[in-house]
Amino acid sequence: KDDVIAAASAARARRSGRVGLATASRSTSDPHPAEMATHELHPNDTLTTLKMESENLKAKLEEERAKLHDVELHQVAEKIEALGQFVMKTRRTLKGHGNKVLCMDWCKDKRRIVSSSQDGKVIVWDAFTTNKEHAVTMPCTWVMACAYAPSGCAVACGGLDNKCSVYPLSLDKNENLAAKKKSVAMHTNYLSACSFTNSDMQILTSSGDGTCALWDVESGQLLQSFHGHGADVLCLDLAPSETGNTFVSGGCDKKANVWDMRSGQCIQSFETHESDINSVRYYPSGDAFASGSDDATCRLYDLRADREVAIYSKESIIFGASSVDFSLSGRLLFGGYNDYTINVWDVLKGNRVSILFGHENRVSTLRVSPDGTAFCSGSWDHTLRIWA
Amino acid sequence: VFTFILKFQHDHKVSLPMEQVIVAMQDPDLGIKMKNQRLLITVIPHAMTGNDIVEWLMKKYSIMEEEALHVGDLLVRHGYIYPLKEPRNLVLRPDESPYRFQTPYFWSSQQWPASELDYAIYLTKKNIRKQGQLIDYEKENYNLLHKRINHTWDFVVMQAKEQLRASKQRRKADRIVLECQEQAYWLINRPPPGAFDIREHGPERRNRLTSRVQLVRLHSFIIHQKKIHDRTFIKYSEQYFSHDPMMHGCPPSNPWITDDITHWALNTNTVSTPTKLRVERWSFRFMELLSDPLGRLKFMEYLEKEFSAENLCFWEACEDIRHGENSRIPQKVQEVYKQFLAPGASKWVNVDSKTMEKTLEGLRRPNRFVMDDAQMHIYFLMKKDSYPRYLKSDLYKNLLVKAIAPQETKRSVFPFMRRHRHSSPNPALVAQALEEDGKAKRLGSPRITSPATSP
């Protein structure tokens, strides 16, 4: 009922011309620094009337959009040259995980990576030489999130333990990495994704408990929490903007939300996918982001036009996209899918440029390297592959 | 007789696109042409060959053979199509092997929990038919079940016998089909040890939509409506085209392809002469210049000549506050105020009075965002003023002229000769060494040191 109240007053606030979005915080016990919409309810309000009000507003929004005669991205890109033959091959295969690889992240040095798997193992590799440099075993299974610190001196990871822990990378071969482990984030359900912000000192997390959160690494203090998803949050990505204050998240409620890190407010929301959003990634300029979903499509959302501008799909692709990332120029979008393949899309023209076979089970994670020379894919077939 | 319970599951949406394909395949006009297929001496009606499946997929979705085979194989693995020959092996063979569509009753999307009772009946039937000669894992499962649901075993045996009796009265072709269908179902729901388990979906996603009313949250209302910025993405992609190693190659070569790390060696943060592409990129946008440590260094050199280096120092100090440890914020804010904002400060920055007022107000309760407005002001000052002038300066122009432009090396004549893959120092090692050297950290220097890559 709290949700209903808050959403109703939010709708009323918007109607009266107030710009922006008030989030309905599900848990009233969290101190929320952001403004809260007033909790008023009219005597005639019922679930039905509020639902209808919501539908009407939605329809009106679509009407306004139609008036602007917006076009799809591929129509604008009609005249530009199509991409030629595209050849990418596996250049390295990293074997060493004893179970499904769930997540990976690149180090800023452009060649090292960290990966995590179902059996709790987190491994740091020099992907170029394929040497394993560090390994730690987490006390939990399904380590679904891992991230490399910007300095290259630590990694963060978590999963079914509901936490995000930071491990400083020790070069002493005898030292047990687990000894220096620091517990940073605490959620009430599984950790689905984590990312350092611009430094080693802050971590952004998303969780199956439906929230995202920003943490101070040194003290483990919660700096900001982000409420608004109606179900598990599965992914997040930080915006490469000049002001560096926003990030996008995707969840099981089929929504992609853009958040202001300062206030905790959801400033934009997109709901066009037909199923869980497994992955979100910003376009290099920060003006848009792509998403990959269980509905077997990837989509592009333009932040300034405030709408979806492209859908990347093909009738022969019948399995969900688990992970997406852009090439350096943003012209290509790589999608790892649950049918073990990687599809390469022309972001502008909307067509598929290539399909890459190789993995023998779901592709669960995919990231382009920091200098765009290669991308890495991790799979339930226990391996990681570097493609170039 | 199978008992079934409908339950809400997120599996449903995974199967749906697959089912659309299956339904299309069975379309009376546009689907696969079904025929009788011969299985030894029996004629099975309404069947197709592996080739038929691959060809239909290729034609319908305009895809190549490799992809069609891949998709078809997945349909078999997920139990929507089953082989009549070698029915235990759920793979698609692109030849004349006969296949049939699984009855929708057995589709994995129906989500009846494949219960122990049903499995027991199935195994019992098999056991009776094969006179005790079950396959290893099936024998094991049978024994386990016998123990676990012993109290209903009479019922199990009775059901099994009844079903066997009924099937004996069918025509041989029908009997074979029904046996294959059932076997395919159980291969999916009770896979042999070591076999691929398609039911695995990872940790359950507790989709709250089922327990809560979700009202649609509308976003950035009509006030923000803008026409799609037509050429933004096109322009960006064009500008960065030659910088994208996947689109344009990578001078002198892509390390991942040729094992030659020259490209990385030429682009470290400590290199004395940057590459042409790199220097060019600094002119694309201000953030490109700032986010490249070498670019930032060169820009700082320029600002020092212009006696406005304090702006960049201030910006860096603010970044340090924003992204640094929570505990050190009050101290850092104090220092920044003293160095940059206080009257008579040694590195005084020119912030407009309104912003200054707001900042001073915020200093009473220092938090990590207290410098945001001032930082933004100085950032845009640099962006609008110093940055464009830098790009026109001799300093920058010289960099461009002196920049290295390595030739794209031709493909190796001996492609089989593999270069030795050099390792590089772990960034954690580099950072440790720096700290041990006791290098003093200037106030305002970037907190984050980008790991150097050395050949």
Please choose, from the candidates A164, A146, A145, A163, the residue with its C-alpha nearest in 3D space to the C-alpha of residue A155.
A146
CB-CB under 8 Å, B225 with A68: yes
| Angstroms from A236 CA to nearest CA on chain B | 16
Tokens 């979705």 correspond to B61
- Cβ atoms within 10 A of the Cβ of B432, count? 15
Q: Which of B112-121, B225-234, B376-385 has the highest mean pLDDT?
A: B376-385
**Reported confidence tier of residue A212, pLDDT bands at 50, 70, 90:** very high
Contact (CB<8Å) A306/B225: yes
> Is A135 in CB contact (< 8 Å) with chain B?
no
**Backbone angle region of B285, left / alpha / beta, with phi > 0 → left and psi within -120 to 50 → alpha:** beta
More reliable by pLDDT, B198 or A311: A311
Range A375-386 average pLDDT: 98
Contact A302 B203 (CB under 8 A): no
Does B325 lie at the interface with A, CB-CB under 8 angstroms? yes
Average the pLDDT over A6-13 and give the result. 45
- Chain B contact for A325 (CB, 8 A cutoff): no
Taking an 8 Å cut-off on Cβ atoms, the answer to whether A218 and B327 are in contact is: yes
Q: Give pLDDT, residue A153.
A: 94
Does residue A29 carry a pLDDT above 50?
A: no
Instruction: Note the pLDDT of residue B82.
Output: 95
| Nearest residue on chain B to A23, alpha-carbon basis | B217
pLDDT at A53: 74
Query: CB distance from A10 to chain B under 8 Å?
Result: yes
Chain-chain contact of B218 with A71 (C-beta, under 8 angstroms)? no
pLDDT tens digits for range B328-371: 999 999 999 999 999 999 999 999 999 999 999 999 888 889 99
The pLDDT score that the predictor gives to residue B115 is: 87
Sheet of A131-137: strand order equals A101-106, A112-117, A121-126, A131-137
Residue predicted with more confidence, B436 or A342 = A342
Kindly report which listed range (B78-92, B141-155, B268-282, B435-449) carries the lowest average pLDDT score. B435-449
B210 pLDDT higher than 50? no
Q: Using CA atoms, how far apart are residues A356 and A89, in angstroms rounded to an integer?
A: 8
Query: Which pLDDT does position A192 carry in this prediction?
Result: 97
Which residues of chain A have a CB within 8 Å of the CB of B18? 318-319
Whether B205 sits inside 8 A of A284 (CB atoms) is no
The pLDDT of residue A31 is above 50: no
**Least confident window among A94-98, B218-222, B249-253:** B218-222
Q: Which two tokens stand for residue B239?
A: 């500008």
**A319–B contact, CB cutoff 8 A:** yes
User: Considering only CB atoms, which chain A residues are within 8 Å of B225?
Assistant: 64-65, 68, 306
Best B75, B218, B234 residue to mutate vs chain A (most A CBs within 10 Å): B218
Residue of B nearest to A16 (CA): B221
Q: Which residues contact B394 (CB under 8 A, 6 or more apart)?
A: none
Contacts across the A-B interface (CB distance below 8 Å)? 324
* Chain B (41-80) residues lying within 8 Å, Cβ to Cβ, of chain A: 57, 60-61, 63, 66-68, 70-71, 74
Interatomic CA distance for residues B449 and B124, integer angstroms: 68
Among the listed residues B285, B317, B302, B326, the one whose alpha carbon sits nearest the alpha carbon of residue B386: B302
| pLDDT in the model for residue A54 | 67
> Using one digit for the tens of pLDDT, what is the confidence trace for B134-158?
889 999 999 999 999 999 999 999 9
Q: CB of A388 within 8 Å of any CB in chain B?
A: yes
How confident is residue B109, by pLDDT bands cut at 50, 70 and 90?
confident
Inform me whether the C-beta atom of residue A285 falls under 8 Å from chain B C-beta atoms: yes
pLDDT surpassing 60 at residue B413: no
Report which secondary-structure segment, H or E, holds B82. strand B81-83
pTM, 2 dp: 0.86
Q: How far apart are CA A322 and CA A250, in angstroms?
A: 12
pLDDT per residue as tens digits for the range A59-78: 776 676 666 656 788 888 88
At B7 the pLDDT is: 30
A334 or B449, higher pLDDT = A334
Looking at the predicted structure, is the pLDDT value of residue A80 above 70?
yes
Q: Does A161 touch chain B (CB under 8 A)?
A: no
The string of pLDDT tens digits covering residues A107-120 is 999 999 999 999 99
Quick one: pLDDT at residue B114? Answer: 82
Q: How far is CA B238 from CA A55, A71, A241, A305, B388, in A?
A: 41, 20, 20, 21, 21
CB–CB of A211/A222 below 8 Å? no
Q: Which amino acid is at B271?
A: V
Q: Tell me the pLDDT tens digit for each residue of A243-298.
A: 778 999 999 999 999 999 999 999 999 999 999 999 999 999 999 999 999 999 99
Contact flag A305-B243 (C-beta cutoff 8 Å): no
CB contact under 8 A, A315 and B254: no
pLDDT surpasses 50 at B247: yes
Please report, to the nearest 10 degrees, the dihedral formed by the alpha carbons of residues A283, A288, A292, A298 taken in order.
-100
The answer for A 287-316 residues in CB contact with B (under 8 A) is: 287-288, 294-296, 302, 304-307, 309, 314-316
Within 8 A of B448 by CB-CB distance, chain A residues are 150-151, 198-200
Least confident residue range of B137-146, B216-225, B348-357, B429-438: B216-225
A130, A92 Cβ separation under 8 angstroms: yes
* A20 confidence band (pLDDT: 50, 70, 90): very low
pLDDT at B418: 62
CB contact, 8 Å: B149 with chain A? no
**Average pLDDT in the A223-239 region?**
96
Helices (H) and strands (E) in chain B, counts: 21, 4
Residue B9 has pLDDT above 50, yes or no: no
CB-based contact A198 B223, cutoff 8 Å: no
**What residues of A are in contact with residue B240 (Cβ under 8 Å)?**
284, 328-330
Whether the predicted pLDDT of A30 surpasses 70: no
Name which of B287, B293, B250 is nearest B407 in CA terms. Answer: B250
SS (H, E, C) chain A: CHHHHHHHHHHHHHHCCCCCCCCCCCCCCCCCCCCCCCCCCCCCCCHHHHHHHHHHHHHHHHHHHHHCCCCCHHHHCCCCCCCCCCCCCEEEEEECCCCCEEEEEECCCCCEEEEEECCCEEEEEECCCCEEEEEEECCCCCCCEEEECCCCCEEEEECCCCEEEEEECCCCCCCCHHHHCEEEEECCCCEEEEEECCCCCEEEEEECCCEEEEEECCCCCEEEEEECCCCCEEEEEECCCCCCCEEEEEECCCCEEEEECCCCCEEEEECCCCCCEEEEEECCCCCEEEEEECCCCEEEEECCCCEEEEEECCCCCCCCEEEEEECCCCCEEEEEECCCCEEEEECCCCCEEEEECCCCCCEEEEEECCCCCCEEEEECCCEEEEEC
Confidence of residue A28 (pLDDT cuts 50, 70, 90): very low
> Residue B432: what pLDDT?
76
Confidence of residue B282 (pLDDT cuts 50, 70, 90): very high
Q: What is the ipTM of this complex?
A: 0.85
Residue B427 contacts A where some CB pair is shorter than 8 Å: yes
Residue A147 pLDDT > 50: yes
pLDDT at residue A388 above 90? Answer: yes
Return the DSSP state at B47.
E
Residues of B in contact with A285 (CB under 8 A): 232-233, 236
